[in-house]
Structure 1
Amino acid sequence: MTDTDALPHAFARAADGTPLAYQRQGAGFPLVLLAGQANNHHWWDGIREDFHGSHSTITLDTRGTGASGRPPQGYATQQFADDVIAVLDGLGIERADVYGTSMGGRVAQWVAARHPGRVRRLVLGCTSPGGPHAVERDASVRRALAQPDPEAARQALIDLMYSPGWRTTHPGPYQTLGDPDMPPHARRGHLLASNRHDAWDALPKVTAPTLILHGDQDRMAPPANLSLLADRIPDARTHLFPGARHAYFEECRAEASALVSAFLTD
């Protein structure tokens, strides 16, 4: 059992009554960590501790995952952002730093754009603005992930997340492959939420200093989205990790966590 397995859940309640499980660890200024599509708080296992020198970390099980409620509706990145605010309200936290990756980065965009007074600093990783302006993954990626053989689809996802060289020295288990206990309706809801995300018009409303990170070999969320986000968010900084795929935050952990920590404490 790891330390993150042992983290106790606390609960906030969304506006529609859905219970939202969250986990808090460490001391210092609050840092909200938002996971990717169809993943629970374990997405951040082994990484969250990198920020405990200056921050307390708050993760949550996005509705439909982990110990949170699994309602039949309410799956949209805007709703997920409102759920983040419900957790902060439940904790009595007025302002926090927010770091979202993949779909969590899409959620973080809405948190910062719709609630600018609640976000001190924003980090977006391996994500996109969504909508017609975004650069989407190509059809071969979609086919690989949708193939009927579950193990073949799982291997395709691993290959999209991590480079072959990194996998030879890090054979897993991997915590970024989805919550295996999600019911089908919630899994579909997360997929639709990510596919329907479009924050293009809202991004100029982000007032928090922003850092945008991406692996330059990311086929899940093509790296061209980094410059699109940076052009829309005022005074955003960017960094590309050479050779990294979607899970740059693990594969390039030392460099990525150091960059994020320096940005948050600058």
Structure 2
Amino acid sequence: MNGHAHATDGTPIAYQVRGDGCPLLLLAGQANNHTWWDPIRADFHGTHATITMDWRGTGDSGRPRSAYSTPGFADDAIAVLDALGVESADVYGTSMGGRVAQWIAINHPGRVRRLVLGCTSPGGPRAHERTKAVRRTLALPDAAARREALEDMMYSPRWRAAHPGPRTTMGDPTMPPHASRGHLAASDGHDARDALHRVAAPTLILHGSDDVMTPAANAPLLAELIPDARFHVFPGARHAYFEECRPHASDLVADFITI
């Protein structure tokens, strides 16, 4: 089932529902749409109906020029749950989606049954952010070189050699420049550190050990900030651990959300 919710500012937010069972909201990374989850969403359909959404600025959602922020994206996600009549869901967010998931759990605690945060950061001045060298690489003027660098940050060389693609985590090519800038500003401006003690949902944190997009040192930091959270790091994995470490990563999530 596909449809549209409407955000508080009227922006249409596209959503997609697959499978049957308890609701599981899946939140994609920066500058990506719902296809980010295509390789693994079926892993959860034995017990859950998966709900994905296109961030504003991507996919079939509206593309306003107003300010973008992770709390704002969280409100968009709540609009999707409201449109579907979902009172409470398990929430699994990766990368920027993990930043957004933090605000859903902080500002809407009754809407989150269990929380999974993948390859993400609490933000703020004490978080472990990507280096200037990584930022320069991601800003390479040559599109082919930039894509090659991004793919290398997402997946280990060994996995890439065995899995030639296509990839669904390389960004939404239809995004207008203002939306791309808005997503970057939202991720860079995220800072939930001082509010994470308010997360009430049981929380699982997952990360790849070799992630340079969002360094793995953020996993224990998040676990320290969120009450009773636990974390797991996948040796040798990079940013897209959820795909490279399948089925182990999906099994950990599935076990956690079916308790």
For the aligned residue pairs, the C-alpha RMSD in angstroms reads 0.6
SS of 2:16 mapped into structure 1: strand
Q: Report matched runs for 1:83-162 at 5 Å.
A: 83-162=76-155
CA distance in 2, matches of 1:228, 1:37: 21
Post-superposition Cα deviations, 1:158-211, rounded to whole Å, max 9, x if no partner, equal 000000000011011111010000000000000000000000011100000000
Aligned pair count reads 259
Using structure 1 for the length normalisation, give the TM-score.
0.97
CA distance in 2, matches of 1:204, 1:40: 29
CA distance in 2, matches of 1:30, 1:9: 15
- Paired residue for 2:40? 47
Identity fraction in percent = 69
1:139 CA displacement: 1.0
Match of residue 188, structure 2, among 180, 184, 195: 195
- Paired residue for 2:13? 20
SS of 2:168 mapped into structure 1: coil
Provide structure 2 residue ranges, at least 5 long, that are not aligned to the other structure. none
SS of 1:109 mapped into structure 2: helix
CA distance in 1, matches of 2:38, 2:12: 22
Post-superposition Cα deviations, 1:98-131, rounded to whole Å, max 9, x if no partner, equal 0000000000000001100100000000000011
- Paired residue for 1:72? 65
Aligned structure 1 segments of 4 or more residues deviating by more than 3 angstroms:
none
Q: In structure 2, what residue type is equivalent to 1:231?
A: E
Match of residue 4, structure 2, among 8, 11, 14: 11
Post-superposition Cα deviations, 1:32-74, rounded to whole Å, max 9, x if no partner, equal 0000000000000120000000000000000000000000114
- Paired residue for 1:212? 205
Using structure 2 for the length normalisation, give the TM-score.
0.99
- Paired residue for 1:254? 247
CA distance in 2, matches of 1:135, 1:123: 19
SS of 1:228 mapped into structure 2: helix
Post-superposition Cα deviations, 1:122-157, rounded to whole Å, max 9, x if no partner, equal 000000001101101111100110011011000000
* Residues 1:63 and 2:56 are matched in the alignment: yes
